[in-house]
Copies of this chain bind each other. A is one copy, B any other.
């Protein structure tokens, strides 16, 4: 099975034990899966973006600050995976494809300003013809409204991309194109290549095969 795992940048926010992710990936590889990992930027990214903003950087350069931090997180994971992973972080999909062709786990951060690491993960899933794109985030899956704002929000075990778009548009900030979980570009890729998306909590990564089999808490997003 080919799996692309997009890990929230928040996973790298504190200095606590970070072994869950490399351990989970190792387990998946040992059970015969091919795995790509995409890491977000988290609070360090936000710190550098805020410094850049106060220095008057343009939006593209600010995005690049965040991308560099996400690559730093990717590099940390690649080094922790040791001989299992390709020893460099790709900086574009073309480099990803080159590294991936050599049979190892490839860990990547952001690729380019103007898009989220979820979009990167969708591109990677498309280019590898992955069986699943796993969004490992801070909540348990997709809810009918933002669970951070609404404690009554209900987890949806199954949701279509069309429904998800509607939920995100209503539950989130008005500013179009900035909604969370899956940004418009990620959504577009998922739809055009009919990628199966699984949203789950990053802490559940060590039981990912269960989650994929359907016996764990998560949401399946179906492209329509």
Q: Is A196 an interface residue (CB 8 A)?
A: no
Question: For window 50-66 of chain A, which residues contact chain B by CB distance below 8 Å?
Answer: 50-52, 54-61, 64-65
* B residues near A55, Cβ cutoff 8 Å: 18-19, 22, 76, 79-80
Interface residues, chain A, with chain B CB atoms under 8 Å away: 12, 15, 17-19, 22, 44, 47-48, 50-52, 54-61, 64-65, 68-69, 71-72, 75-76, 79-80, 83, 85-88, 91-94, 97-102, 104, 111-115, 119, 122-123, 126-127, 129, 176-177, 184-185, 187-189, 191-193
User: In the complex the two chains form, is A126's CB within 8 Å of B101's CB?
Assistant: no
- B51, B57, B111, B129: the one contacting A112 at CB < 8 Å is B111
User: In the complex the two chains form, is B114's CB within 8 Å of A123's CB?
Assistant: yes
Max chain B C-beta neighbours (<10 A), residue from A97, A99, A176, A189: A97
User: In the complex the two chains form, is A101's CB within 8 Å of B114's CB?
Assistant: no
Main secondary structure of the interface of A (DSSP, over half): helix
User: In the complex the two chains form, is B69's CB within 8 Å of A127's CB?
Assistant: no
- The residue on B at minimum CB distance from A19 is B55
- B72, B94, B100, B188: the one contacting A114 at CB < 8 Å is B188
- B50, B61, B85, B127: the one contacting A113 at CB < 8 Å is B127
In the assembled complex, the CB of A49 is this many whole angstroms from the nearest CB of chain B, namely 10
User: In the complex the two chains form, is B58's CB within 8 Å of A127's CB?
Assistant: yes
- B65, B86, B113, B127: the one contacting A76 at CB < 8 Å is B65
In the assembled complex, the CB of A87 is this many whole angstroms from the nearest CB of chain B, namely 3
Max chain B C-beta neighbours (<10 A), residue from A86, A104, A123: A123
* Given A15-B50, A51-B76, A176-B188: A126 touches B87 (CB 8 Å cut-off): no
A54 to B14, CA, bound (A): 12
User: In the complex the two chains form, is A64's CB within 8 Å of B79's CB?
Assistant: yes
* B residues near A71, Cβ cutoff 8 Å: 68
User: In the complex the two chains form, is B101's CB within 8 Å of A85's CB?
Assistant: yes
A26 to B189, CA, bound (A): 29
A163 to B191, CA, bound (A): 26
A18 to B64, CA, bound (A): 18
- The residue on B at minimum CB distance from A75 is B68
Complex A-B, nearest 5 residue pairs according to Cβ-Cβ distance, in ascending order: A87-B101, A60-B127, A88-B98, A87-B97, A177-B188
